[in-house]
Structure 1
Amino acid sequence: MASGTRSKNPLGRPRRPAAGDGGTDTRATILDRAEELLAGRGYAGMSMDDVARAAGVTKGTLYHHFPEGKDALIVAVGDRSLRRHGEGLAAAISSAGDARAGLEAVARWVLTNSGGPERLLRDSGRFLPPEQAENMRRGFMTRMYGPVRELLEGGVAQGELPPHDAEFVAWAFLGLLAEFAELQHLLARPRLAEQIVSLMLNGIGAE
């Protein structure tokens, strides 16, 4: 094999370097495993030893990428998660034709991409230093809460939605989606996103 050429797996895709080999994917692998552990255990239930084992790296490699320790790793996971979910929500909203369709697109995105930053946001206020917790909160407000509130307010302005408290409804909607995202394996419904939006807009008498 020529020097510098990456081997391919049976599907023809380039293989990623092993997590501990110093390749450019090592940091991403660490973040992936840390995000999975955080989603399952929360901040208090995850240690740097856990992350190193899950990522297949030494503690030295882990601290090479995150020399400031666990809090720095959590912040990096949160920043990446907020960026990914923010981009996903923006694309979902932009593809919708009206406010209701936009809310359904947001719901589908959150349900499909469970393990979002909501739990990280809750834990950051309890465990991270105040400045880092505030940065996490601002990221959530900008990338997730803000677009949903703007969607709701735009729906009222266009006459698509009845007047309402957009601040409260945006929080309630995102909170409801976060809970359903964690529990949806118990509720197999092909139109869950649409049903959640219908419940929010039309009440318990909705189909």
Structure 2
Amino acid sequence: MHTPATGGDSARARVLECAERLFMERGYQAVKLRDIADELGVRAASLYYHFPGGKLDMFLAVLDAAMDRYHTGLDAAIRGAGAGLEAELDAAARFFLSQPKIDFFRMLESDLEQIEPAQRAAVAMKMHQSLQGPVMDAFRRATPTGSERDSAPSPADAPTPELLAGSFLAIVQGIHHLRAEFDLPITKEQMAEQMSRILAAGLRAVREAPQSADRDQPNPNDASSV
């Protein structure tokens, strides 16, 4: 049974929504509580009612809510995609492009440096699980299992799901931040579709390539190997 949000819950949600937009646009260091209060038309002191720890408390709550939203949305998009890695990656990319722009690289390199190491580690782990987790699962489903590993490339040749997911997210982030002034010949969604096709085809090619040991064996018909 759905429980209606109370007035306090609704007010807190409004604060989080405003704070998230400002933090993601400007970065943690540049945003003051006064900025958030001015946007909401309230006194800065009233924000402590919802976030007793002030700006840091609010920032951590924003990240927690945002990562929960991304994890849920990504997982649903991938599960609702058609069969195959390409369809799952395309669905994941389109979900990212449908969300407000977030500079994850700046967040990792700058914003998280403003908080305590233990908190930073917890936030970084949640970001990893929420953003990379569903995409890594998609790549894992596309990798060999069981007896299939006997004919798969060696670990030195095959990229890991972690590496593939990280590369995927970096490319999607770049596509999302392309500006309209660049006069792009195709849409961002079309770019994402092409990227998904290339990544899926590349992984397929690696899986189907001869094993390293086979490639290193001299070819008896090659005079240079004698």
Q: Which amino acid aligns with 1:195?
A: Q
Q: Distance in 2 between matches of 1:26 and 1:123?
A: 29
Asked if structure 2 preserves the Cα contact closer than 8 Å seen for 1:37 and 1:46, the reply is yes
Q: What is aligned with 1:91?
A: 76
SS in 2 for 1:145: helix
Q: What is aligned with 1:129?
A: 116
Cα deviation for residue 63 of structure 1 reads 1.1
Cα deviation for residue 153 of structure 1 reads 1.7
Q: Distance in 2 between matches of 1:165 and 1:37?
A: 35
Asked if structure 2 preserves the Cα contact closer than 8 Å seen for 1:81 and 1:116, the reply is no
CA 1:30 to 1:120, structure 2 compared with 1: closer, same or farther past 3 Å?
farther
In structure 2, stretches of 5+ residues that fail to align are: 203-226
Relative contact order (alpha carbons < 8 A, sep ≥ 6): 1 or 2 greater?
2
Question: Which runs of structure 2 are paired with 1:42-61 in the superposition (5 Å)?
Answer: 42-61=27-46
Structure with greater helix percent: 2
Q: What is aligned with 1:154?
A: 141
In structure 1, stretches of 5+ residues that fail to align are: 1-15
Identify which of 161, 165, 172 aligns with 2:167. 172
CA 1:135 to 1:121, structure 2 compared with 1: closer, same or farther past 3 Å?
same
Q: What is aligned with 2:191?
A: 192
Q: What is aligned with 1:78?
A: 63
- Segments ≥4 residues shifted beyond 4 Å: none
Q: Percent identity?
A: 31
SS in 1 for 2:112: helix
RMSD of the alignment, in Å?
2.6
SS in 2 for 1:106: helix
SS in 2 for 1:194: helix
The answer as to 2:17 corresponding to 1:32 is: yes
Count of residues in correspondence between the two structures: 183
- With the length of structure 1 as denominator, give the TM-score of the two structures: 0.78
Cα deviation for residue 199 of structure 1 reads 4.1
SS in 1 for 2:9: coil
Cα deviation for residue 62 of structure 1 reads 0.6
- With the length of structure 2 as denominator, give the TM-score of the two structures: 0.72
Q: Which amino acid aligns with 1:137?
A: A
CA 1:39 to 1:115, structure 2 compared with 1: closer, same or farther past 3 Å?
same
CA 1:199 to 1:44, structure 2 compared with 1: closer, same or farther past 3 Å?
farther
Asked if structure 2 preserves the Cα contact closer than 8 Å seen for 1:78 and 1:117, the reply is no
